[in-house]
Structure 1
Amino acid sequence: MRDERLFALFEPIDSLPGIGPKLRPVFERLVDGETVWDVLLHLPEKWLDRRVKASFEELVSGEVATVQGEVHSYKAPYSDRAPHRIQLFDGTGFLTLTFFRADPRWLQGQFPIGKERIVSGVVGEFQGERQMSHPDYIIDPAKPERPPAVEPIYGLTAGLSNKRFHNAAVAALDHVPDDLPEWLRSDLLAERCWPSFKTALIGLHAPDIYDEARFAKCRERLAYDEALARETVFAFARLSRSQKDAPPLRSDSQPLNEVAKCLPYKMTSAQIRAVKEISEDLEQPHPMRRMLQGDVGAGKTLVAILAAVKAVNAGYQAAFMAPTEVLARQQFDSVASLLEPLGYQVAALTGRDKGASREGTLIGLADGSIQIVAGTQALFQQGVHFRKLGLIIVDEQHRFGVMDRMRLASKATAPHMLVMSATPIPRTLAQAVHGDLDISILDEKPEGRQPIETRIISDTRIDEVIDAVGRASARNERVFWVCPRVDADDDDSSAIQRSRMLQEQLNVPVGLVHGRMRGEDKDLALEQFRTGQTRILVATTVIEVGVDVPDATIIVIERAEGFGLAQLHQLRGRVGRGQKKSYCILLYRPPLGDLAKERLETLRRTEDGFEIAEADFRLRGPGDLLGVRQSGAVDYRVVDLAAHADLIPVARTDARYAIEGDPGLTGERGKALSLLRELLSPLVRERQ
C-alpha cells in the first residue's frame, strides 16, 4: 500500500487547476504519465533571467533581456512585409521593437508616445541597431504586474504553452508534503551542499532568483534521489538472489581445456578472465546474473560455449536464446561445429522447426539427452520442458523484454543466467545501465582478426564504389550494401530502389532484406547470401547485429552521416570475419557538417568499440548510447548520464550498505528510503 503522505502526488493530472478533458491527454503525452508527480518530474530545460537591466547598454545580441524605457516614436510599415517599428529610449540609447502584421490601434494603445514601458524578449541586431521582435512581455511599470524574475523553460508539445505548463508545475508543488523525512545521509547533504527534496523541486520549477549554480545543485540532488532509488532496487535484487538456492555447477577444468585445444587460435587474456569469473559464479549456490559485454569480434560466443560446457559437465543442460531465427541458427552452427566432435549433443529449436524434427528435439530436452540447445522465443513456449536446465545464455539481451527472460527462467528452478551484448558502453557508464548485473568485459580481439579499412567517400563518387563492388563480386566475395530506409520513390538510397539499380547496373543477382519482410523471407535472403547464391545483399539495419558471413569483404553504408556511431560500428562488424582484407565504405551526402565529420573520422580512425562508444556518448549524449533503447536501461527521468555519471557509484555503495544493514527497511532511514522507492522506483523494472 502506498504511504498516505504520497497520495496527493499520485492524484491524476486533471486534479491540477486549468487542466480539463481537452488538456489532460496533452499533458499526459508530454510527461509520459498520468499523475501530478509526473508533471513535477518534467523538469525545465533552462531558465531565463527576466530581471530588469539597468540600461540598454547592457544588452547582448542573441540573449533574452528585460528593459525599461520611454516610448520615443512609432513608425508604420511601408509595405505588407515590413514591420511596425517602435523606438524606446532610456537615456543611454535606443531599442527598436518590431511587430509584423500587427494591429496598429493595438500597438498605439500598448505604446503611447512619452510613456514608460517594460519589455522582455530576445535581443537582436539589424543594420547596427539593437532591436527586439515581438517581445514576450509588454508591461506598464505604473501597474504592479512584472515579468517573473526567473522563468523556467520546458520542453513542450503541440497544444501546450510554456506559461500553461509552468502554472501547472507551480500548482503541483503544493502537492509535495512538507513532512517527508530526509532519506539522504546528512554527511552527503553537507558535503555536496544539496537542498532538501522539496526545496530542490521549488528551486527548479519556481525559483525566486536566477542562480545557475543553484539550479545545478537542485537538479543534482534530485538526480541522486533517482539514482539511489534505482540502486536500492538493484541492491534488493542482489540480496534476493543471494538468498535463493541455485544448483552449484561444479566441474573440473579438463573439459574446458579440451575445447580450448580444438581452437584454431589462442584465447585472449580477456576471454580467459571472463571464463574464470563466470566459472566462479556458476559454482555458487545462488543464481548467477552476469553480463558478458564485448566488442564486435571479441569472442563472446566462445566464452558462452565454455560456460555451457561447464554446466553440462556438472550434470545440467544449457540453453542459448537469440532474438531471431537467423541468429539462433548461426549460434547453433557455432556451438555444434565446436562441441559435437567432442561428443556433446546440441540441437536447435526455432519457429521453423515442425513435425518430427521438433518432436524429437522436445523429447531430447525433456529426457536430458540434448545437453545444449540454441533457439528463439520458441524455447519458452508451452510444451517445451527441460530435464535439468542449469544455465541460460541470452544473446543480444536488449532485444528481449524482462518477461521473455523470466519465461525461459521459469523452465527451471533458479537457473544461472548469462546475458551477452555486442554493444560497447563507456566503461564509466556500464554499471549505470546494468546495475543489477555483474559485468565481464572483453576488451581484446583474438589474434589474426583482420583489420577493416574504413573510407569516407562522397556519394558523388558512387559510380566508383559500384564498380569496386562489381569487381569484388566477380572475385566471389560478398558485399553488404546498407541503406537508411526501405522505400522512397524519389531517393535512390532506399533499399528497394538501390537493389534494383545494382542488379541492373552489375547484371548479377542481388539479395534484399529489410524489416517489412516476413521472418522466413529474411532468413532465406540471408541464407542465399551466405551460400553465395547472391553475392550482394542490400539491407537496412536489420543486419546490424550477429549476421556472420566470413566471405563478406565490403560493406557500403549510404547516408552514413545519419547513423549513430555505435550503429555504424556494429554494421562495420559484419565484415572482416574471414581471412581476406575487408573494407567499410561510408558514403555521405555533401555538404558534411563539422559534427558529422568528426563522428565519421572517429570511426575511420579506430576499431575500438569502447573508444567509439565514449565518442558517441560525448557527441550525441546517452539517448543513442546503445543504438537501440534497451529494456529498463536508459530510463532515467532526472539523471543526465553525461552530467551525473559520478553519482551512480556513490548511490550504489550507499544503497548496498543501507540494504545490508537494514534489509527490512524498518529503521528511521530505511522507512525514508521506502518512501523514495515509492516515488522513483516505479521507473525501474526489477530484473531477476
Structure 2
Amino acid sequence: MDIKRNYEYLLSELKSIKGVGLKTSNLLKRKKINSIFDLLWKLPKSYTDRSLSSKIKDLKIDEVQTITIIPQKYSFPRVRNLPNRVLCKDETGEIDCVFFNSYEGYIRKILPIGKEVTISGKIKYFRNKYQLTNPKYISEDSSIIKQKHNSYSLTEGISEKVYNKIIFQIIKNLPKIDEWHSKDILKNFGNIGWNDAIKKLHEPENIGKFKENFYQRLAFDEIFSTFLVNSEIRKKIKKIKKTKKKFDAKKQSEIVSKLDFSLTNDQTKTLNEINEDLCSDNKMFRLLQGDVGSGKTIVALLSAFNTISSDFQVAVMAPTEILARQHFLLAKKIYPKNIKIELLSGKSSYKDKKKILNKLIKKEIDIIFGTHALFQKKVEFKKLGLIIIDEQHKFGVSQRKKLSDKAGKDCDVLLMTATPIPRTLTMTIYGDMDLSIIREKPSNRKPVKTYSKIESKIEDVIKFIKKEIRLGNQIFWVCPLIEESKKIDHSSAVKKSEYLKKIFPNEVFLLHGKTTIEEKDKILNKFLRNEFKILVSTTIIEVGIDFPNANVIIIENANKFGLSQLHQLRGRVGRGNKESSCVLMFKSNLSENAKKRINILKDSNDGFKISEEDMKLRGFGDILGFKQSGIKNFKLADPIHNHNLFILAEKEIKRIENEKEDIGRFKPLIKLYDRADIINDIA
C-alpha cells in the first residue's frame, strides 16, 4: 500500500467500515465523528474483562461472567409479553438464557441446539436456576468473546458491542504509515511509531496512562501539526514583498513629547518592533498582546501615524462602536491637525456614510475608525497600508489568514488583545504571527486594590460606595445573571439595579446582553459623561473601554467567574490617576478552588501570572475568550500537563525553519490532523 492510500484510508467516510450503515453513520456524525480517523480519538473510559471462562456451578451472581454452553431446549410461549427462553448446560449445571422482544428466528440462529456457544453477561438467579437476560455477547467463536471489551461514552442508539466491533475492525485494519518524525524526536517517545501508539491507546490496560510513551507521542503529533501549519503561514506571509514604509522618526518623537505621560520600556520596545516591520519589505503580521491598562492603544496609534506619514491609509477596527469612538477621539487629540480622521458609525446617516466611502477611495481620509463594518465589500481604500484590529481573540487562524490575503500585499496587519494568556496557548493560538508583549504598566497607573466580602455584609459595601460617590467617583456593579433564576442562586442584574435605585435614586442604570446596541451606547456615553454614578451590568463591560472617573467595581458571586475573567472585569477601573478598588463578593459556602481564585486575584495585578494560575485551576478550554479558538480541537494534548511537548515542538519547528528543511514528509500528518485546508497547496 503506498503512502497516499495509507493515510487516505483513515480519512474515508464511516460508511466504508463493514457493518456501518447510514443510520449508524448519522448517529456518529451527530458527535462530530465524520471519518475513520475521528473514531480513533473516541477513547475507552473503562473495560469489562470477559477473557476468563467459568463453569456454571462456579458462577457469581450480579457479576459479568463468560461461559461456554450447549443449548438444549427452546421455549417460545404464544402468550404476548412472556419472554422466550433457551435452556443451556455444561458438564456442571444448567442456565436459562432469557430474551425479551427477540424474534424466534434470531434466537435459533445465535443459540443453535447441540452446538457449543460462548456467552457473556451479568448473571442472575431466578427460581433456583442461573439466568442470563438479553445477553449481547454470544458467538460460536470463543475468541471473539474471550477478551477485554472497552466501555465508551456511547452515542445514543449505538450499543457497546457494536461500537467495540467497529473500533476492533479499524485497529485490525490500521494501515502502516511511513514515519514523519526524525530519529531525534522519536527518541523522546521510546522510538514508538504512530501505528503502534494508536493500538496501545485502545488497549484496555492502557486506559488513563497519560504519561506513557504512546500517549505522549500522539499528543506531540497534535501539537506539532498545529505548529507546523502556523510556521507555513508565517513563511507564506513573509514571502510577500511589499513597498517599504518610509517615515521621519522625529515626527513620532514630537507626538510622544506632547503626551501627558512617558512611554514605558515595553511600549518603546514594542513600537520599535512594529516600526521595523513597517520599514521592512516583508509584510507585517503581528500580534500586540498586553495586560489590561498597559497602553497598547497609544503604541498602535503611533504606528498608524508612521504609516500615514509614509503616504498610506490606515483602518482601525474595534469590537464595539463606543470603543471605536474612544480610539477616534484619542487620535484626534494626539495627531497633528493636518491628519484627516474619520469614524464610520452605525449611527451615521446613509448620506454621511456614502460621503465617507467616497473620501476613502479618493484618499481624502488618512485613518478611519469603526467596527467590523470597515471590512465589508463596499468599503474600498485607495492606498491601505495598515489594518489594526483591537480585541481580536475571536479570530481563528483561517480568519486571520483570509484577512491578511484580503488586505493586499502592501498592507501590514496588527492585531491587539488585552487578554494575557499562558505561553503554551500563545504558541498554539497565535503561532502564525510575530508577537509583541507589553507587560509593564504606565507609572501613573496605580494597582487596583482588591478586597473580598461575604454577601451578608452588603451594608458595608453600600457605606463604602456612598463615600466614593461623595468624592465624585463612579461605580461598576457586575452580576452574573440578567434576571433572577429559581434554579441558580446567582445575583441578578435586574434585581440588584432595583435594590440600588431605592438607595441611590436617579443614580443607577442597568446594562445587559438584551439591551439594544443603540440603548447600550447611550447608557455608556452617559456614564462616560458622569451623568449617573452606578452602572449595574452583566459581564458585557469586559472589553477595554476607558472610564477614567470609574474607580470602583463590585463583582457579585465572584466565585462563579474564572480568574482571567475577573482580571478583565477588574481592568475596567484604575484607568485614571485615582486610587481604585475591586470588591469580590461571595457566599459563605466557597469551594477550595474558589478560595484559591479569590486569593490569587487579591495578591496579584499581573494578568500573565493570573492566566497561568487560571489555566491550572480551570483547564485551558475555559480561559476567557478561547472556547472558540480552535485549541479545543485537541483530543489528547493539554497545555498544562504537556508543557514539555509544546516546548519540544517549538524547538523542532525552529530547527526545520533554520535548516530550511522540506516539509513534504509531513503531508500525511497535516492532512490527518485536519489542518490541510489552511495550507492546501503544501508540497
TM-score calculated relative to the size of structure 1: 0.81
State the match for 1:274 in structure 2.
270
Residues 535/383 of structure 1: CA separation in 2 closer, same or farther (3 Å cut)? same
State the match for 2:376 in structure 1.
381
Distance 1:195 1:479 in 2: 59
Contact 2:221 2:669 in 1 (8 A): yes
Is structure 2 residue 618 aligned with structure 1 residue 625? no
C-alpha distance after superposition, 1:360-401 (max 9, x if no partner): 322332222321211111211233221211111111111345
The runs of 5 or more residues in structure 2 that have no matched partner are 66-84, 96-118, 123-134
State the match for 1:324 in structure 2.
320
Aligned-residue offset at 1:298: 0.7
C-alpha distance after superposition, 1:573-627 (max 9, x if no partner): 0011112221111111230010111011101111110110110111112112244
* Paired letter, 2:591: G
Alignment of 1:86-235 (within 5 A): 152=150, 154-156=152-154, 158-159=156-157, 164-178=162-176, 180-205=177-202, 207=203, 209-210=205-206, 216-235=212-231
State the match for 1:345 in structure 2.
340
Contact 1:8 1:175 in 2 (8 A): no
Aligned-residue offset at 1:9: 1.7
Contact 1:232 1:656 in 2 (8 A): no
**What is the aligned counterpart of 2:306 among 310, 322, 329?**
310
State the match for 1:674 in structure 2.
667
Residues 150/254 of structure 1: CA separation in 2 closer, same or farther (3 Å cut)? farther
* Paired letter, 1:675: P
State the match for 1:5 in structure 2.
6
Is structure 2 residue 391 aligned with structure 1 residue 390? no
State the match for 2:39 in structure 1.
39
C-alpha distance after superposition, 1:618-663 (max 9, x if no partner): 1112112244424445532332222223223433443455467667
Distance 1:43 1:516 in 2: 40
Residues 49/672 of structure 1: CA separation in 2 closer, same or farther (3 Å cut)? farther
Aligned-residue offset at 1:291: 0.8
Aligned-residue offset at 1:498: 2.0
Give the SS at the match of 1:538.
strand
Aligned-residue offset at 1:120: 11
Contact 2:422 2:611 in 1 (8 A): yes
Distance 1:444 1:413 in 2: 33
Alignment of 1:255-266 (within 5 A): 255-266=251-262
Larger Rg: 2
Is structure 2 residue 520 aligned with structure 1 residue 525? no
Is structure 2 residue 608 aligned with structure 1 residue 610? yes
TM-score calculated relative to the size of structure 2: 0.81
Aligned-residue offset at 1:71: 6.5
Residues 623/268 of structure 1: CA separation in 2 closer, same or farther (3 Å cut)? same
Aligned identity (percent) is 33
State the match for 2:575 in structure 1.
577
Residues 405/683 of structure 1: CA separation in 2 closer, same or farther (3 Å cut)? closer
Distance 1:317 1:252 in 2: 17
C-alpha distance after superposition, 1:233-265 (max 9, x if no partner): 222212212221222112232122112101212
State the match for 1:236 in structure 2.
232
C-alpha distance after superposition, 1:102-161 (max 9, x if no partner): xxxx9xx99xx9999x9999xxxxxxxxxxxxxxx9999xx9679887665545555556
Distance 1:273 1:681 in 2: 37
C-alpha distance after superposition, 1:310-349 (max 9, x if no partner): 21112211211112212211221222222145x4222211
State the match for 1:354 in structure 2.
349
Distance 2:59 2:648 in 1: 59
State the match for 1:245 in structure 2.
241
Distance 1:526 1:332 in 2: 16
* Paired letter, 2:180: W
Q: CA RMSD in A?
A: 4.0
Give the SS at the match of 1:440.
strand
Is structure 2 residue 639 aligned with structure 1 residue 641? yes
Give the SS at the match of 1:318.
strand
Distance 2:550 2:146 in 1: 62
Contact 2:47 2:204 in 1 (8 A): no
Residues 627/588 of structure 1: CA separation in 2 closer, same or farther (3 Å cut)? farther
143-152 or 622-631, larger mean C-alpha shift: 143-152
Alignment of 1:556-595 (within 5 A): 556-595=554-593
State the match for 1:499 in structure 2.
497
Aligned-residue offset at 1:230: 1.8
Residues 194/617 of structure 1: CA separation in 2 closer, same or farther (3 Å cut)? farther
Distance 2:266 2:407 in 1: 31
Alignment of 1:422-437 (within 5 A): 422-437=418-433
603-612 or 308-317, larger mean C-alpha shift: 308-317
* Paired letter, 1:220: Q
Contact 2:389 2:415 in 1 (8 A): yes
The runs of 5 or more residues in structure 1 that have no matched partner are 54-65, 75-84, 89-105, 122-136
State the match for 1:95 in structure 2.
none
Contact 2:50 2:120 in 1 (8 A): no
**What is the aligned counterpart of 1:549 among 533, 547, 550?**
547
Aligned-residue offset at 1:18: 4.9
Alignment of 1:424-503 (within 5 A): 424-490=420-486, 493-503=491-501
Aligned-residue offset at 1:162: 5.4
